Each structure stands twice: as C-alpha cells, then as structure tokens.
C-alpha cells in the first residue's frame, strides 16, 4: 500500500533539518526498511537502492546471515576494548588475512580511521625501515582523491568544499595527477623522502573515474622498484564491487585470495571498510605483511571499538557471503550487461554523454554544466519512479546497486533509468 501524501516523510525531514547539523544534502526520501536490493520509505513505497550506502551494502540490505551473526554475538559479548583479549578477534584476523592474502590485520571502525592508520604505518615504516630523517616523510596522493574527512585527510584533498577553512593543514603530502604512472615515477625519483603512494583503484567520489587497465600493475612496479609502499584504498572498490574481490585483482574473479592475484597487482598496505561489514556495522581494517605491520608496537596506535567482537563476527559473515553467493562474478556479469544496455541508449541520447565504471560501480555523465541541477533533478525523478541514486560532483550520477541483484531485477532497473532519462531529453 502506497500512501498518497508525503506528510510523514516531511515530518522526519523537518526534524533532521531543525536538530541536526546540515553537513549533508540528502535526496528527499525517508527510509525505514531494507531487504536485499530494496528499501522502503515511511509511506511504504518500495525502491531499488542504486547507491548501496556508497558501496557498504554490497551483500544487500539486512542480509540474514550477517544479521544472525550480529544479533547472536550481541547477546554474548559486545565490547572488551583491547585491554583484554576476546574470543572473536583472533578468529576474525585469521580468517580475513587468509581471505585477502596478508600476514596481519589492524582493526579499526570507519574508513577514514583506516586511512589514518595506513598513513601512520607508512610514515613509521619510513623512519624505522627506510631510514628517513625525522619529520621528513612524504606520501604521494592523487588529484581529486577521496579518502575521508579527518583533518589530515582533508589536508590533501583538492576539493575546496571538503578542505576550505579547516586548516592549518597537515604537511607531508604531494599531489600528482591520477592515472599517470610516469608522474608517479618522476615524483618518487626526485624525492628520497617518499614513503608511500596512497591511491584509489577507481576514484569513486570523484565520479567513478576509471583508470587504464594496467594502472595498478604499473603503480605496483614503480613502488616496488623504489622502496615505496603501495597503499590501496579499496574502501569503496573492494569486496567484489568492481567484479573481482579487490579492484587491484584486475580481471581475476576469485572470491577469495588466490595465487593469480599476485600476477595482477598486490598493494603493500590494503585499506578496507564499507562492505567489510555488509553495511551492518562500522568495520574497517588495514592489512599488510609483517615487514610493514611490525613497526607498530603496543600503545602506538589503537581504538576503543576497533576489533570488537560484534565487528569481528559481522565481518566474517559478510566475507563468507561474498564467497558463497559469488558476488564478484555476479557484479562482473551484471556490470557488463548494465553498461552495454546503457550504451545502447546513450548513443542516441542528448542528455547522457557517456557511462564509465567497472563491475557494478558505474556512473553516467549528464550532458550539462557542473553547476546545473540536471543530475539532481534526474535523481529526484528516478526516486519518483522507484530507484534511488545520488549525484556525485555536479553532473555525474553514480549507479552502485547491491551485488545480490538478479539479471531480471537489473533489466527492470535499466528500464526505470532509461524511461526517466527520456523525460529529460531535449
Ligand atoms: C567512503 C570512503 C572513505 C571514508 O570512509 P568513512 O567510513 O566514511 O570514513 C575513504 N576512502 C574511500 C575510497 C571511500 O569511498
């Protein structure tokens, strides 16, 4: 039953507006239920979720296996802090390091915390293993990066909205163009104080900017040759989103770490978040081999909630779902289908100029100026037609449904999207 008036939604929107900080600009829809690829608003209207909480809900909303693991653990033990051991953390670390093929895991909660952890780890490694002089370590990052919202992370953002008036900024970062291995090599060769290169395998927030297929392999080679840590932020691209377990796995569709992974590319430090919990709980992690991770000793880094038993139980279940339900392979097949269906439409479209992406992380470019409201208006129309997506950076709309989608559902979504876009054709 679909209520005809939106009064209830408006009440919730007004409540947030009145009492909450205005640090987001949400689409005007108020959700109260989710299951698999669907969410429902407070009036009972059903939508396809084409954002998946920025790729946190890869396993689908309220996946029964993940929710069971969470509720069962919640009744036994929720938090010990790391002052004591608990009977889940070790199991979670053993499972996850095996799953991704690294020696060690450092548990955190949010993505930004995991990025901060990776930065600290790389700097400390630089001083203790590479012999950099105190306070001279530098990390190379890319233009248009998005790695989170802490003061240090926004210090190396070139998005003025994210960084303006939050200074003074943390020093020690150098920016180079994305998808430009030569620029990386020149930068590294010209500066012996560089300890790491922090990069997203696909720039999600920047508008699903998808680099050349061999970019990650070249990056790894340059970093390895020059004793610089290759740090992959796979918070958005990881956990099957782009059609492989990690985006750095290239075209390998294995659902867990495999030997072939090393023939594609393998970072020295891997940063995970978002779908590591299937969206059920804030869980992030940094993975690395002993030669890097061993520079962190007791008391040098930590988090009260990092490595808590609920997080561990939830993350194991969330990764098992990726495996059991072949989410990488599904993301790959449906992503190919989605882009090909959309391209058929785009060749005769005036409103959409192109689609780009990998697996089920895609974006369409709207044929209008960055400042125009067209992408926003299209998202509002999509919402009215039963599909939720959000513009990213002006005239770009990201499409990232849960990976548990079926082909039939995807084709229905393509119909909704194309029908909606047709309303905007001139
Ligand atoms: C979302 C995201 C982050 C930040 O994660 P939070 O959990 O929001 O702190 C960092 N890097 C990338 C690539 C992301 O997509």
- Can you give the pTM of this predicted structure? 0.97
pLDDT at 252: 79
Q: What is the mean pLDDT of residues 67-96?
A: 98
Q: Is the CB of 272 under 6 A from ligand 1?
A: no
pLDDT at 263: 61
In a 10 Å sphere around its CB, with 0-12 CB exposed, 13-18 middle and 19+ buried, how is residue 334 labelled?
A: buried
Which CATH number is associated with domain 2-59+327-422?
3.90.1150.10
pLDDT tens by residue, 282-332: 999 999 999 999 999 999 999 999 999 999 999 999 999 999 999 999 999
Average pLDDT score, the chain: 96
Give, for ligand 1, the residue of 147, 246, 247 to mutate: max count of ligand atoms closer than 8 Å to Cβ.
147
Distance, CA of 210 to chain centre: 14
Q: Are 157 and 163 within 8 A, CB to CB?
A: yes
Which atom of ligand 1 is the closest one to the Cα of 56? Answer: 1
Which atom of ligand 1 is the closest one to the Cα of 112? Answer: 9
pLDDT at 249: 87
Which atom of ligand 1 is the closest one to the Cα of 234? Answer: 13
Q: Are 110 and 306 within 8 A, CB to CB?
A: no
Determine the Cα–Cα distance for residues 164 and 423; give it in Å rounded to an integer.
37
Tell me the catalytic residues.
146, 233, 274
Domain 64-324 fold is 3.40.640
- Percent with pLDDT over 70 in the chain: 97
Q: Is the CB of 146 under 6 A from ligand 1?
A: yes
pLDDT at 255: 73
Structure tokens at 400: 């990232």
pLDDT tens by residue, 313-325: 999 999 999 999 9
DSSP SS3 for 323: helix
Q: Is the CB of 112 under 6 A from ligand 1?
A: yes
Given a cut of 80, whether residue 253 has pLDDT beyond it is no
pLDDT tens by residue, 196-217: 999 999 999 999 999 999 999 9
Determine the Cα–Cα distance for residues 57 and 275; give it in Å rounded to an integer.
6
Q: Is the CB of 148 under 6 A from ligand 1?
A: yes
Q: Is the CB of 207 under 6 A from ligand 1?
A: no
Determine the Cα–Cα distance for residues 28 and 45; give it in Å rounded to an integer.
13
Dist. CA 16 → ligand 1 center (Å): 23
Q: What are the extents of the domains in the chain?
A: 2-59+327-422, 64-324
How long a stretch of residues is the chain?
426
Query: From atom 6 of ligand 1, which residue's Cα is the shortest distance away?
Result: 111
Which atom of ligand 1 is the closest one to the Cα of 55? Answer: 15
Determine the Cα–Cα distance for residues 357 and 190; give it in Å rounded to an integer.
33
Task: Provide the 8-state DSSP code for 359.
Answer: T
pLDDT tens by residue, 145-164: 999 999 999 999 999 999 99
pLDDT tens by residue, 407-426: 999 999 999 999 999 999 98
Q: What is the mean pLDDT of residues 388-399?
A: 93
Dist. CA 204 → ligand 1 center (Å): 10
Given a cut of 60, whether residue 2 has pLDDT beyond it is no
Determine the Cα–Cα distance for residues 244 and 309; give it in Å rounded to an integer.
28
Dist. CA 226 → ligand 1 center (Å): 28
Reported as a pLDDT band with limits 50, 70 and 90, residue 1 is very low
pLDDT tens by residue, 255-282: 777 766 656 689 999 999 999 999 999 9
Q: Is the CB of 110 under 6 A from ligand 1?
A: yes
Determine the Cα–Cα distance for residues 267 and 118; give it in Å rounded to an integer.
12
CA nearest neighbour of 185 among 198, 176, 132, 193: 176
Q: Is the CB of 306 under 6 A from ligand 1?
A: no
Task: Provide the 8-state DSSP code for 285.
Answer: E
Dist. CA 5 → ligand 1 center (Å): 36
Residue 40, strand partner residues: 33, 46
Q: What is the mean pLDDT of residues 113-134?
A: 98
* 358 phi/psi in degrees, rounded to 5: -145, 140
pLDDT at 261: 61
Reported as a pLDDT band with limits 50, 70 and 90, residue 393 is confident
Which atom of ligand 1 is the closest one to the Cα of 110? Answer: 7
Query: From atom 5 of ligand 1, which residue's Cα is the shortest distance away?
Result: 111
Task: Identify whether 101 is preceded by a cis peptide bond (ω within 30 of 0).
Answer: no
Helices within 253-350 (DSSP H only): 261-264, 290-293, 309-324, 327-346
């Amino acid at each position: 039953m679909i209520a005809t008036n939106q009064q209830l939604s408006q009440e919730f929107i007004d409540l947030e507006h009145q009492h909450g900080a205005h640090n987001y600009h949400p689409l005007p829809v108020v959700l109260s239920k989710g299951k698999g690829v669907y969410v429902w608003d407070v009036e009972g209207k059903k939508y396809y979720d084409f954002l998946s909480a920025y790729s946190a809900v890869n396993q689908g909303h309220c996946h029964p296996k993940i929710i069971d693991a969470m509720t069962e653990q919640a009744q036994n033990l929720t938090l010990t802090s790391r002052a004591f051991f608990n009977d889940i953390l070790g199991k979670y670390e053993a499972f996850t390091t095996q799953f991704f093929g690294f020696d060690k895991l450092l548990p955190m909660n949010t993505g930004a915390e995991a990025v901060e952890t990776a930065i600290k780890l790389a700097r400390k490694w630089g001083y203790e293993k590479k012999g950099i002089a105190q306070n001279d370590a530098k990390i190379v990052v890319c233009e248009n990066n998005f790695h989170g919202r802490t003061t240090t992370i926004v210090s190396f953002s070139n998005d003025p909205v994210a960084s303006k008036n939050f200074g003074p900024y943390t020093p020690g970062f150098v920016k180079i163009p994305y998808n430009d291995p030569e620029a990386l090599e020149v930068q590294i060769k010209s500066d012996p104080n560089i300890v790491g290169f922090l990069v997203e395998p696909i720039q999600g927030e920047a508008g699903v900017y998808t680099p050349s297929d061999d970019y990650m392999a070249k990056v790894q080679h340059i970093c390895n040759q020059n004793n610089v840590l290759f740090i992959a932020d796979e918070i958005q691209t990881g956990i099957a989103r782009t059609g492989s377990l990690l985006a750095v796995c290239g075209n390998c569709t294995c659902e867990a770490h495999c030997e072939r992974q090393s023939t594609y590319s393998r970072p020295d430090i891997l940063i995970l978040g978002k779908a590591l919990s299937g969206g059920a709980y804030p869980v992030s992690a940094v993975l690395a081999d002993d030669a890097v991770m061993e520079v962190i000793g007791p008391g040098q880094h930590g988090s009260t909630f990092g490595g808590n038993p609920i997080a561990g139980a939830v993350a194991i279940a969330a990764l098992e779902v990726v495996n059991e339900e072949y989410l990488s392979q599904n993301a790959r097949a449906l992503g190919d289908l989605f882009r090909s269906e959309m391209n058929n439409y785009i060749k005769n479209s005036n409103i959409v100029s192109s689609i780009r992406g990998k697996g089920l992380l895609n974006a369409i470019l709207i044929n209008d100026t960055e400042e125009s409201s067209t992408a926003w208006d299209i998202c509002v129309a999509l919402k009215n037609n039963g599909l939720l997506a959000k513009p990213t950076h002006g005239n770009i709309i990201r499409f990232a449904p849960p990976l548990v989608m079926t082909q039939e559902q995807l084709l229905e979504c393509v119909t909704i999207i194309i029908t909606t876009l047709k309303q905007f054709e001139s």
